[in-house]
Chains A and B, each alone.
Chain A
Amino acid sequence: MRVLFILGSGGHTTRGLLLSKQNKEDSYFIIPWESKTTKAKVREKYFSVISPRFRAKDNRIMSGIRTIFLFLHSLIILFVVRPKIIISTGSGLTIPSFLIAGLLRIKTLYVESPSRIYRPSIAGSFLIGKVDMWLSSWSELANIYEKVEYRGMIV
């Protein structure tokens, strides 16, 4: 069984990699093309994609074009890898793959950042109710939203 992890930069990547180390199935990764640190940590079975927005702010047209490109790129990756599950730790690369996964009957697991105790992130709140499992690192958030579950923290 293949599990595809969507990484990002900084903490998103650290948490995704911690989960992949626990995972006993075959792990694959989507990583942002511009993050050298992430690339150095993953080393194999990864696909680099261009993020809709780099950390620096730039114009909306470019970021729109990159979003469309990310949708197409994610679609190709999902077709090639055919994972049973996609897991995201909340990076900006998440939403396209997660929306496509629904069509391909791939299960989706979203794990919110532990920095979110009472309010979900923008990507996170968009995905509540649209994923197969939405996990918070805190029981507080799970008590506020019906479709949010708490099963502990990534450590």
Chain B
Amino acid sequence: MIFITVGTSLPHDELIRHMDELVKKGRIKDKIIAQIGDGKYIPKNFRYARFIKNMEDGYNRADIIVSNCGAGTILENVTKGRRLIVIQNPDVTGGHEWELVKKMEDGGHLIWCKNIDELADCIDVAKDTLFNMFIPERLDIVLTIKELISR
């Protein structure tokens, strides 16, 4: 199953429409589930939901996750070593998410699909790629608050 998610802040119609066409043409044969947010484009060839309460469940069941460049989605998945393809949403402010995507791509934690026309190829590559799990240090807020109070 391929799980597509656009996050909760901005829709990504271009991605959903393109995926819908790939399925219609038979280029992608996998089962697909999409979380489309407030998107205007409604996919006709796969199941979708606007918002999904239990994203973790979707991620766990997916063989491949296709997502926009939201830092939350990226970190949630690379820290679990899941197969993640990231595609940029042109509507996000400033394009600063590239920093994180680039860093994660360099570490072999995800596949960065730079052009929507390459999405189908990226999915093929993702199936045969080993993804490195990203292991960050955890911010301890209890210790941090203690130190902040004493300053």
**Known interface pairs A10-B7, A37-B51. Does A115 touch B99 (Cβ–Cβ under 8 Å)?**
yes
* With A111-B139, A135-B139 as contacts: A11 and B70 at CB distance below 8 Å: yes
Q: Which one of A23, A111, A133, A152 contacts B136 once the chains associate, using CB atoms below 8 Å?
A: A152
8 A-B pairs (CB sep. < 8 Å):
A10-B72, A11-B71, A23-B141, A85-B145, A85-B149, A107-B148, A115-B71, A152-B139
Q: Which residues of A contact B (CB under 8 A)?
A: 3, 9-11, 14-15, 19, 22-25, 37, 55, 84-85, 87, 107, 109, 111, 113-119, 121, 132-133, 135, 137, 151-155
Q: How far is the CB of A32 from chain B (nearest CB, A)?
A: 11
| Residues of A with C-beta under 8 A to B9 | 9-11, 55
The reply to whether A155 and B148 contact each other, CB–CB distance below 8 Å, is: no
B103:A117 contact, CB within 8 angstroms: yes
| B-side contacts of A117, CB under 8 Å | 99-100, 103
CB-CB under 8 A for A115 and B139, given A10-B8, A37-B51, A155-B75: no
Docked-complex contact A22 and B10, CB < 8 angstroms = no
Q: How far is the CA of A117 from the CA of B107 in the complex (A)?
A: 14
Known contacts: A117-B103, A152-B139, A153-B137. The answer to whether A85 contacts B96 by CB under 8 A is: no
CB distance B151 to A118 under 8 Å? no
Flag B81-97 by CB within 8 Å of A: 1 or 0 each: 00000000000000011
Residues of B near A19 (CB, < 8 A) are: 139, 141
Q: Smallest distance from the beta carbon of B5 to chain A beta carbons, Å? A: 12
Contact A119 B51 (CB under 8 A): no
| B140 proximal to A (CB < 8 A) | yes
* CB neighbours of A11 from chain B (8 A): 7, 9, 70-72
Of B8, B79, B142, B149, chain A has the most CB atoms within 10 Å of the CB of B8
Task: Provide the main secondary structure of the chain A interface.
Answer: loop
Chain A residue numbers with a CB within 8 Å of B127 are none
Please state if A22 and B142 are interface contacts (CB–CB under 8 Å). Answer: yes
Task: Report the separation of the CA atoms of residues A75 and B18 in the bound assembly, to the nearest whole angstrom.
Answer: 47
Please indicate the chain B residues that have their CB under 8 angstroms from the CB of A115 in the complex.
69, 71, 96-97, 99-100
Within 8 A of A (CB), among B91-147: 96-97, 99-100, 103, 136-142, 144-145, 147
Complex: A133 Cα to B151 Cα, angstroms: 9
Q: A107 is contacted by which of B137, B139, B151 (Cβ under 8 Å)?
A: B151
Contact B99 A151 (CB under 8 A): no
Which residues of chain A are near B103, meaning CB under 8 Å?
A: 117
A47 CB → nearest B CB, Å: 21
Whether B138 lies near A155 (C-beta < 8 A) is yes
Smallest beta-carbon distance A64→chain B, Å:
19
